Amino acid sequence: MVQGSMMHMQSLCSSSVPLCVYGDLAGVSSAGGGRISSASLRSALCVSSPLVGVNKYGKRMGMRPQVQVPQRKSGLVYAKAEAVLGLEENKDGAVSVNGASPANPGVEGAQSQSMEIDLVTEAELKENGFRSTRRTKLICTIGPATCAPEQLEALAIGGMNVARLNMCHGTREWHTEVICNVRRLNSEKGYSVAIMMDTEGSEIHMGDFNGAPSVKAEDGEEWIFTVRKFGTLPEFTTIVNYDGFAEDVKVGDELVVDGGMVRFEVIEKVGPDVKCKCTDPGLLLPRANLTFWREGRLVRERNAMLPTISSKDWIDIDFGIAEGVDFIAISFVKTSEVIKHLKSYIQARSPNGSIGVFAKIESSDSLKNLEDIIRVSDGAMVARGDLGAQIPLEQVPSVQQAVVNLCRELNKPVIVASQLLESMIEFPTPTRAEVADVSEAVRQRADALMLSGESAMGLFPEKALSVLRTVSLRMESWCRENKQHASDRLPELSPALDDRISENICNSASQMANRLGVDAIFVYTRRGYMASLLSRCRPDCPIFAFTDTKMVRQRLNLQWGLIPFRLDFSGDMESNLRRTFALLKARGMMKKGDLVVAVSDISEADMLQSIQVRRIP
């Protein structure tokens, strides 16, 4: 029986699944009852074979490393790795690791420590179990259709992880009220919705329409695009924010609105006014992006001269810092220097805060410097609407795939945005092509999907969110059932030894979790780094990310597969595990016998990182 189990574990922990690649395992042990297995890695230790252990009489002995996996059928098995074993037997005959004796988890911690988790996620775990949880995160743009407290709560119940504020629209007072409403939901009702602020950018935009949420442009209608200012805007007229617009366009140019949602042909220029005829009808939205094409090519010289962050953007950024938003998305990023400058600006004005800076990939300039931009950003957004107005339409799918892949390789969360369910602005059911588009983004394993007009001004925002949720769940399940990503290979992130240790621990933990079929991965982290490494691996099971700060918990809301908890830590890993088990069992989110893999980077000395396989007692 023992020999058969050893062979089984050898197949689980083959050379393709190393527990340790760049260091030596410094404590592979088992504790009584088959409840605990752990593999611990010391970065300061370098010992090679032959393996040396200590028997219960204190004598050194050469031996193969042994790991006791929680019992499904049988006992001791081999883990294929170089290791140094530090085993002791306590008075009760239980084996401890490096002198630390595992105690039986109890409920004492549950009485003195609290644990914060999103209300909706907790209900899903209780009702449907671990495997049914959604991995892809959902972002909703807040607008007139969804800004009231009851509407925001309906979105939170429907699965909204992040509320996005588009600074192209709304007043400062309106944005402040929405932020207050979201935070009130979190504090009073137990939700955990993060807040993203999206800057307007300095590209060419249209103006407002006398307060109307949208205006319909019909085929053949003649419109005036002007730089003049009006108290009350005349009918069939829109203002352009770029003073040189009338000089730059030529008769015969094509004006593309909002990434191609509406198109006009320039037919006449009269002073500051440009008369155009609608060739592709559609809805004109306030502050919509405007590009113009000449002889099939984008006219971009003037856009290239405009700064990435406008004076209005800086005012909005100051507002976001003061309000303590969780993320700021920067429009039309051209180079990495813009992101570096902004991050240093935020750090100077909010040294104790942590605002994630996302680069919006929506211009041809972004693609020229894509890797440099993503490396210095905290994440990226594929804004396909504006991007599709600057590159040929047929290139958008391949660019989306390339950005998603690069972000995952560099361990940066990525959002797929724009026109996911555009028809649901007006209709209660999406087109089948839209459902296929959403499914493809989920199959590519993007961290998050974003609704724009569908939730901001659409007639069916809750239904649109429900479609995203159900399609995501179904596609994720299909990918797991069909092992779609079993052969994924990720490049090494950093040459630094400490980073390589953390990376390989998370890679191994993820592969162990998949092969052992565990219910969840637990990660205890102060900065969120190891949680992000596990998310990058895209394991089959959900990742419970425990952190002791609200700020980090909110930022983890945007990363694939993470279920963030806020939990006060002690300096002892075993104590944290016992308290976590007790709290989760008390709240009905786990039950006796559930199997988890646990990793941690919260050691005060930062000398010991570990992988543990635990069965809930």
pLDDT of residue 203: 79
What count of other Cβ atoms lies within 10 Å of the Cβ of residue 174?
15
Q: ∠ at Cα 546 (542, 548), nearest 5°?
A: 160
pLDDT of residue 295: 85
Extract the tokens encoding 584: 């989760």
Grouping H, G, I as helix, E, B as strand and the rest as coil, residue 359 is strand
Backbone angles phi, psi at 194, to 5 degrees: -80, 165
Could you give the CA distance from residue 123 to residue 302 in angstroms, rounded to a whole number? 52
Q: Tell me the angle at which helices 497-516 and 2-12 cross, rounded to the nearest 10 degrees.
A: 120
Q: Concatenated DSSP letters for 487-550?
A: T-------SSHHHHHHHHHHHHHHHHHHHHT-SEEEEE-SSSHHHHHHHHH--SS-EEEEES-H
pLDDT digits (tens, 9 = 90+) for 221-260: 999 999 998 888 899 999 998 888 888 899 999 999 987 8
pLDDT of residue 12: 42
**Class of the 497-615 domain?**
alpha beta
pLDDT digits (tens, 9 = 90+) for 431-446: 999 999 999 999 999 9
Predicted TM-score (pTM) of this structure: 0.79
Extract the tokens encoding 136: 């892809």
How many H helices and E strands in the chain?
A: 20, 31
Specify the DSSP class assigned to residue 574.
H
The answer as to CATH 3.30.360.10 being correct for domain 136-202+306-481 is: no
What are the structural domain ranges in the chain?
A: 4-113, 136-202+306-481, 215-300, 497-615
Residues counted in the chain: 617
Could you give the CA distance from residue 562 to residue 108 in angstroms, rounded to a whole number? 27
Extract the tokens encoding 481: 């059932």
Positions in the chain whose pLDDT score sits under 50? 1-113, 606-607
**CATH topology identical between 136-202+306-481 and 215-300:** no
Could you give the CA distance from residue 152 to residue 598 in angstroms, rounded to a whole number? 34
> Which of left, alpha, beta for 309 (phi over 0: left; psi -120 to 50: alpha)?
beta
Could you give the CA distance from residue 406 to residue 412 in angstroms, rounded to a whole number? 8
**Class of the 215-300 domain?**
mainly beta
Could you give the CA distance from residue 266 to residue 274 in angstroms, rounded to a whole number? 7
